[in-house]
Amino acid sequence: MIRKFLVCAAAVFVLCQSVRAQAQLDSGPPPRAQVEAFYNQQISPVVEGLLKGSHPVPELGARFSELAVRARDKYSLHFNVGISLEYGHRKTGFASNHVDAGQVWVTLYAPALYDSHKQHQLTDPQHADAIVANTVALSMIHELDHAAHGYTSSPTASAEERAQNEIWAWAETCEKSMSVLAERGLPMTRKQREIYEAWIKAARTTMSQSWNDFIRNMYGY
């Protein structure tokens, strides 16, 4: 009887957490201080670990370090990580990259990561924190795949150039990084799994029409 009560109590606790998470998602942007606290607690430790070449998934830490060195050597520039707490950036994805004033920048968008974390607290609470840690790593690695391999676009680049750069950069990210998580059954977002599955269906080649079509559709090119 006691055991049954504890199971029920645990279920009610999870349900309450889910209701709170859904309410926060439906009520619009949270206070900036809340996003900043999330960054300090959930994102910053992952970023600091990656900058030291470590991550809960060691292969991702090693891949990040490799790409950071390649990006720095390619441009002979300093590498930096930036953070945006502004909700105006929430629909641009989890990260972006650019070269500015002699420095390579990868910028993380904390609001998008915050929203993702809240959603996974609702749908997959057991893995919500791991999904954030893996998403931060994959997002930063993907942007470095752009920079390290020269798959970068200027602000005036054509849609075709942007599409090709994403086709090639995502191929690198899938083959060298997402594969580690997928093959070991480690947590990813549904979208990340969808991208990786599209890469596998395309026989892991950028020559595949299905891969080209998938990436173009994903970005609206």
Q: What is the pLDDT of residues 194-213, one digit of tens each?
A: 999 999 999 999 999 999 99
The number of distinct structural domains making up the chain is: 1
Q: Which residues of 185-212 are buried (b: 16+ CB within 10 A; e: fewer)?
A: eebbbeebeebbebbeebeeebebeebb
Residue 42 is assigned to a structural domain of this protein: yes
At residue 1, the pLDDT reads: 46
Q: Which residues of 79-96 are buried (b: 16+ CB within 10 A; e: fewer)?
A: bebebbbebebbeeebbb
Give pLDDT < 70 ranges for the chain. 1-29, 88-92
pTM of the model: 0.84
The string of pLDDT tens digits covering residues 138-150 is: 999 999 999 999 8
At residue 179, the pLDDT reads: 98
At residue 6, the pLDDT reads: 33
In the chain, DSSP assigns E strands to 78-84, 95-100, 103-109
Residue 2 is assigned to a structural domain of this protein: no
At residue 143, the pLDDT reads: 94
Sequence letter at residue 196: Y
Residue 12 is assigned to a structural domain of this protein: no
Strand order through the sheet with 78-84: 78-84, 103-109, 95-100
Residue 3 is assigned to a structural domain of this protein: no
Going 138 to 139 to 144 to 147, the CA torsion angle's sign is: positive
Rounded CA separation 71/65 (Å)? 10
Residue 30 CB: number of other CB atoms within 10 A?
Answer: 17
Q: Are 15 and 94 in contact (CB under 8 A)?
A: no
At residue 86, the pLDDT reads: 83
At residue 127, the pLDDT reads: 96
Residue 13 is assigned to a structural domain of this protein: no
Residue 184 is assigned to a structural domain of this protein: yes
Say how far residue 79 (Cα) sits from the centre of its chain. Answer: 18
- Size of the chain, expressed as the number of residues it contains: 221
At residue 99, the pLDDT reads: 77
Name the residue range of residue 68's domain. 20-219
Can you state the angle between helices 58-75 and 44-51, rounded to 10 degrees? 70
Residue 58 CB: number of other CB atoms within 10 A?
Answer: 11
